[in-house]
Amino acid sequence: MDKQRVAVIGPGSWGTALSQVLNDNGHEVRIWGNIAEQINEINDEHTNKRYFKDIVLDEKIKAYHNLEDALKDADAVLFVVPTKVTRLVAKQVAQALDHKVKIMHASKGLEPNTHERISTILEEEIPAELRSEIVVVSGPSHAEEVAKNIPTTVAVSSEDKLVAEKVQDLFFTDRFRVYVNEDLIGVQLGGALKNIIALGAGISDGLGFGDNGKAALMTRGLAEIARLGDAMGASKGTFLGLTGVGDLIVTCTSMHSRNRKCGILIGKGLRAEDAVREIGMAVEGVYTIKSAYMLSKKIGVTMPITEKLYEVLQGTKSAAEAVDDLMRRERNYEQI
């Protein structure tokens, strides 16, 4: 693939790791952020120590304070910002763009209040004449491992298959394998909702429960995700792939997962807001759980794990009480 100019919007751990992938693939990478010290550190020291203590970035990767400079003559724009600020940042990008680009996002979540997928937000805020069809990058991928060039496999999805294939080429390396998945809704829902189940897995760990309980939580949690996805137009098969069960496994079992770590703190007795504060980074599951709960009620999909986790985060039920409620539910046949 020809060398591309890619503006990466968001210098967090995932944005930084994907910048490394794009740079290793021969593309010109421009990271944009609004924290001056962080931008200066990337340019002067070639590090981003808030997220990676021992990773040195390639000197060719440049960081920008000015959004227009980062977007100038860019071929593609990759959004990697927390879901709750995606709309605000998308408005800023739309104002700064003066030409058409490929628009991609690698964040995972649902917008608070509207409960919309990130691709929908970007479609609403960036005029069609300035963008391609939105492309999603998702899958089981801890930034810490990607930054160290450890083999990783993800999927990309778009309503335009040809654009998705171009983005597949943009990222594909011998250490970062990329599949195309045509289920745009399912890919995003799997990435967003697995964070909720990872919170639950962490709470289980914090309570001192074992592997049996976590396996049940993950399996029944996946069933809930698939039910909601099916009701929203996704393919159930997607949730058996990289962006479903794959992402669920990596997020529920690893200490790289900030959602799991946050859940552990909650299971040990911290309030959700205190746990998030201690993690020190965005914990998307905390923001997504209300949206998932509200969607399940609106659509009429049964999601008992999500409902109990919502109650725990709202402070209306302790983690131990939520577990008791789930275990004492009316006996039933297993439904996938």
Residues with a known catalytic role: 194
Closest among 243, 7, 2 to 102, alpha carbons compared: 7
Q: How many CB atoms lie within 10 A of CB 75?
A: 18
Can you state the angle between helices 258-267 and 284-299, rounded to 10 degrees?
80
3-state class (DSSP) for residue 138: strand
Q: Which residue in the block uniquely carries the two structure tokens 């990783």?
A: 152
Distance of CA 132 to CAs 98, 122, 157, 183, 301, Å?
Answer: 14, 11, 13, 17, 33
Q: Which long-range contacts (CB under 8 A, 24 or more apart) does 207-216 make?
A: 207/267, 207/319, 207/320, 207/323, 209/323, 213/323, 214/252, 214/253
Please list, in sequence order, all residues whose beta carbon lies within 8 angstroms of the beta carbon of residue 148, skipping any fewer than 6 positions away.
55
Give 330's DSSP letter.
Answer: P
Q: What are the structure tokens assigned to 51, written together?
A: 């997220």
Specify the DSSP class assigned to residue 104.
Answer: E
Q: For Cα atoms 237, 242, 243, give the angle at the middle one, nearest 5 degrees.
A: 80
Question: Which residues, in sequence order, are CB contacts of 220 under 8 Å at separation 6+?
Answer: 305
Residue 89 structure tokens: 């940042």
C-alpha pair distances (Å), 35 with each of 14, 134, 241: 16, 27, 36
Backbone angles phi, psi at 254, to 5 degrees: -105, 145
DSSP 306-329: HHHHHHHHHTSS-HHHHHHHHHTS
